[in-house]
Amino acid sequence: MKILFLCSSLEQGKDGVGDYTRKLAGALIRAGSKATIIALNDKYLKAEHVKELQEDNGNSIEVLRFSNNSLHRSRVSMVKTYIRDFKPDWISLQYVPYGFDKKGLPFYLPKMLQQLRGDFKWHLMFHETWAGISHGVLLRHKVYGYFQKRIASNLIQSLQPQKITTTNLLYQLVLKEKNICASILPLFSNISMHAQEEEYLSSIEKKYSINLEDNEYYKLGIFGTSYPEAMLSSVIPKYINEQLKDRKIVLLIFGKNNLPQEIEKLKMNLKPTVTFAEPGELSESKVSNIMSILDAAVLCTPFEYIGKSGAYAAFKLHNVQVETLSFSPIPKYEKEIQLYNEYLSKRPAEKWSVEYVSNKFISLLNS
């Protein structure tokens, strides 16, 4: 099978959907399919466009990237040529509104994609739907959500996709309310399992004066994008006081810290009883190394949204116990989300791998 993926950006480590698409394409190639990727709105690219090879687990993937500043007609012309030469069986649009427009309103996209012609089928993956899902959101979020729904509907009308998927039950329910029937293609971990790097782990022990192999230390991790609603500075101290009192705790905070003020509040609330280690942004292998030594992790994503959390998927692949302490209530979906999250918590580690999900993806396209 030949699959051409369309996403917004392919700057490695800078765009979650781009990293997802690259890993999925790599897994498909390893399984015997042919795959390539076009990034249509790459804000990290200085040149108007570039064709290059990107790597995933030793596999080279040919990609074509367009700057977000390049002319729409130039993108369409070159994409048409690329489709003609590659002759895909499927084109898979990996959709997230804010990837294709900084305000989350890519009005141009349905018309642009409608111009693409060929003997192929369309697949549409909703990585995000629209703003205004949560209870009690601001009026401006509802307004944005209204227009984002219109764009989503226009995409479906323009492309007439044979398959529509999303990553989680919440989005499936939201789409269903707008008469959009989507299957769930579960999220996989963007962080693969890597061999332990003893020298790196030793450097953390030395820097923070801790012993990671000492069973007296309870190793608690924080990784991934923090939502303001997560309220880490209040929920983590409460959890520690109720569940981990009298334990020696080292709190490992790694990855991009997008809410530094919240982390500073957390330190004020927990020091000196908790040891803080902050390795910062790391390579995939080093993230995997830290995940592999954790006793548990606190998720920075509210309970209702864990089905779309890459951090949750990564922890589950690494067999880490995940504590979801924050909520962002959506009453009308609450019971269904509760049951779905219980199901997710019991899924075995191997089902969070890209290989498992890529096999599900091929089966879906063939069904």
Q: Is the pLDDT of residue 211 over 90?
A: no
Q: Is the pLDDT of residue 135 over 80?
A: no
Kind and range of the H or E run holding 97: helix 97-100
d(CA 70, CA 56): 27
Q: Is the pLDDT of residue 58 over 90?
A: no
Contact 123, 90 (CB under 8 A): yes
In percent, the amount of the chain with pLDDT more than 90 equals 71
316-341 residue pLDDT tens = 999 999 998 887 778 889 899 999 99
d(CA 182, CA 147): 20
Distance of CA 293 to the CA centre of its chain: 22
d(CA 11, CA 267): 33
| Per-residue pLDDT at 329 | 73
Q: Is the pLDDT of residue 219 over 80?
A: yes
Residues 187-192 have a mean pLDDT of: 93
d(CA 322, CA 352): 14
Q: Which residues, in sequence order, are CB contacts of 341 under 8 Å at separation 6+? A: 303, 306, 307, 324
Through-space distance between the first and last CA atoms of the chain, rounded to whole angstroms: 13
Number of residues that make up the chain = 367
Q: Is the pLDDT of residue 228 over 80?
A: no
Residues 193-219 have a mean pLDDT of: 88
Q: Is the pLDDT of residue 229 over 80?
A: no
Each domain of the chain, given as residue ranges in start order, spans 2-186+353-366, 198-346
d(CA 56, CA 25): 9
| Per-residue pLDDT at 245 | 81
Q: Is the pLDDT of residue 136 over 80?
A: no
283-309 residue pLDDT tens = 999 999 999 999 999 988 888 889 999
Given 3.40.50.300, 3.40.50.2000, 3.30.70.20, 1.10.510.10, which CATH number is that of 2-186+353-366? Answer: 3.40.50.2000
Q: Which residue has the higher pLDDT, 7 or 307?
A: 7
pLDDT-derived band at 166 (thresholds 50, 70, 90) equals very high
Instruction: Give residue 309's identity as a one-letter amino acid code.
Output: S
Residue range 198-346, CATH number: 3.40.50
94-122 residue pLDDT tens = 999 999 999 999 999 999 999 998 999 99
Contact 292, 330 (CB under 8 A): no
Distances, alpha carbon 38 to alpha carbons 42, 62, 159, 164, in Å: 10, 9, 17, 19
| Per-residue pLDDT at 141 | 86
d(CA 139, CA 141): 5
Instruction: Give residue 363's identity as a one-letter amino acid code.
Output: S
Contact 21, 7 (CB under 8 A): yes
| Per-residue pLDDT at 138 | 81
Q: Which residues, in sequence order, are CB contacts of 295 under 8 Å at separation 6+? A: 218, 219, 220, 321
Instruction: Pull the structure tokens for residue 256.
Output: 């991009």
